[in-house]
Amino acid sequence: MLFPTTDFAIFFAIVFAMHWVLNPHPRARKWFLLVASYVFYAWWDWRLVWLLVTVSAIAQLGALWVERQDEQAARSRRAVVASLALLLPLVWFKYYGFFALSLANAFEGIGLSPPLPLLQVVLPVGISFYTFMAISYVVDVSRLEITPASWLDAFVYLAFFPHLVAGPIVRGEELLPQIRRRRDPERIDVSRAAFLILGGLFKKVVVSSFLAAQIVDPVFGAPGAHSALETLVAIYGYAIVIYTDFSGYTDIAIGVALLLGFEFPVNFDRPYAAVSLRDFWHRWHITLSRWLRDYLYVPLGGSKRGEVRTAINVMITMLLGGLWHGAGWTFVAWGGLHGIGQVVGRWRRRRRERRGLPLEPASAAAVLRARVVTFHLICLGWVFFRAGSIERAFDVLDRLVTGWAEPSTLVTPLVVAAIAGMLLLQNVSGTPAPVVQRTFSRLAPVMQGAALAVVLFAITTLGPNGVAPFIYFRF
C-alpha cells in the first residue's frame, strides 16, 4: 500500500478514527494498531506477514533470553547469537541469489559447476528496516539501555505501519515508551503533520516523478543514446530524485505517525549542504547512519585502535552499509567509494590538525568549495547506486567524456530549474520551510483547510497518472 494512493487515504482515515476512539483503552488500541499494521503489510503480499511475525517473535525471545544473564559478557554473547538468528531471513531473501550467482560466475570462469542452485527469491518489502530495528532492540536490552517490552508492545514496535517498509529506523528507547503511554489529542501538532505530509507528497509525486521520467530514467536506461550534457544533468537529477523520493517518504511517515500521537526521529538534514562525506552521513538517512555507527562501527573498535584499524573499520562499515542497500556489486562499489572518501577525509583532517589549520572550512568561499566538491563526489557514488550493473555505470561515466558533440534535447529549462531549485533550498542558510510551517500554523482552521486543498490540487495536477513505488521499498 503506497502512501500517495486512495487506498492508503481510506486505510488511514479508518485507522485514525479507531485509534483515537480506542485511546482510553490501551490494550485494545495496541491490538488495533498491530492488526492495522499487518493489514498494511499484507497489502503487498499477505503470505509474507508470517515473516514479520517470525522476526518479531525471534526478537522478543532473544531479548528475554539476553535479560536473564547477570554478566555483561554473557548478555553480549547471547545478543550476538540472537542477532545472527534475526539476520538469517534477511540473508536468505535478500542475499542468497546475489551470492549464488556470484559463486556461479566465479566457478564457471574456472570450468566448474555452480556450487549452489540459482533460485529466484522474492524480496519482502521492508525486511531490511524491520530486521535492523529488531537487532537494535535485542542489543539495547543486552546493553541495559532498555528492558524487554511486553509481547504485544514489542510486536507493535516492529510492525508499526508508518515506519514499517522504509523507515526511519526507530530505536526501542524512542518508540516503546510512546506505545505504552496514553495519547493526548490536545497536544497533537496537526499543522506540522499536515505540512510534512503535503511536503512529502510534493517531493515524491511532483519533483521526483518529473525528473525521473524526463531525464534520469531515459539516460540511465540507454546512456549510449544521450549526450554528455544530458548525462551530466541526469546524474544531478538522480541526486535530486533519490533525495526527494526518500525524504518525501520519511516526511509522510513522520507526519502520519504524528497524527497518531507518535514522534519519529529526523532522518534528513539538508544532505547536499554537506562539506565532506563524513558530514554527508550526519545528514543523510540519519537513523541508518547512527545504526551503522552504534551496532557495527563501534563494536568493531571504532576509532580507538589506531589509524589503520580505524580505516579498516570505516571501510567494513561502509561496504556493509552499501550491501544493506541492495544485493549487487554496484551497491558494494557505492559503499566502497564512500568508505574511501571518508578514510581520505580522516587523513586530511589529521594532516591539517598537525599543521595547525582549521579542521572545517572557515570562510564562505571555503564552505562553498567544500560543498561543491562533496556534492560531486556524492553524485559519482549515485551513478553506481542507480546503474543496474558496474558495466552500465562505466557506460554512463564514459558518456561524460565522449558525448559532447551530441544534441541535448532532454535538458529543458524546467528540468534545470527543478534541479537548481532543490539544490538552492538545501544550501541557503535558513530554509523557508520552517517559516512557511509557522505561518500555516497561525492560520484559522478554515484558511488552513483552503491552503491544504490548493496544495493537494496542485500536487494531483502536476503529478503523473499513477505513482511509482518509493525507491527505498527495494531495500
- Chain centroid offset of residue 154 CA: 22
Question: SS3 of 360, please?
Answer: coil
Distance, CA of 69 to CA of 127 (rounded, Å): 29
C-alpha cell at 194: 499536515
194, HSE (Cβ side, Cα atoms, 13 Å): 19
Backbone angles phi, psi at 87, to 5 degrees: -75, -20
**Tally of residues, the chain:** 475
Let me know: does 470 contact 166? Beta carbons within 8 Å.
yes
C-alpha cell belonging to residue 29: 488500541
CA 71 to chain centre: 35
360: its cell numbers: 572545517
For helices 49-67 and 151-159, the axis angle rounded to 10 degrees is 130
Closest CA to 403 of 236, 237, 234: 234
Inter-residue contact 160 to 175 (CB < 8 Å): yes
d(CA 450, CA 255) in angstroms, rounded, equals: 19
Q: Which residues contact 282 (CB under 8 A, 6 or more apart)?
A: 269, 274, 289
Spell out the residues 6+ positions from residue 413 whose beta carbon is closer than 8 angstroms to its own. Answer: none
Q: Three cell numbers at 436?
A: 512557511
Exposure on the CB side of residue 443, measured as CA atoms within 13 A: 18
For the question of residue 285 being annotated catalytic, the response is no
The CA distance from 59 to 159, in Å, is: 12
C-alpha distances in Å from residue 11, one per residue of 27, 32, 125, 140, 353 = 21, 13, 18, 33, 55
The contacts of residue 189 (CB under 8 Å, 6+ apart) are 258, 441
Cβ atoms of 475 and 252 within 8 Å: the answer is: no
* C-alpha–C-alpha distance, residues 161 and 159, integer Å: 6
Catalytic residue among 19, 285, 325, 338: 325
N-to-C CA span, the chain: 16
Active site residues: 325
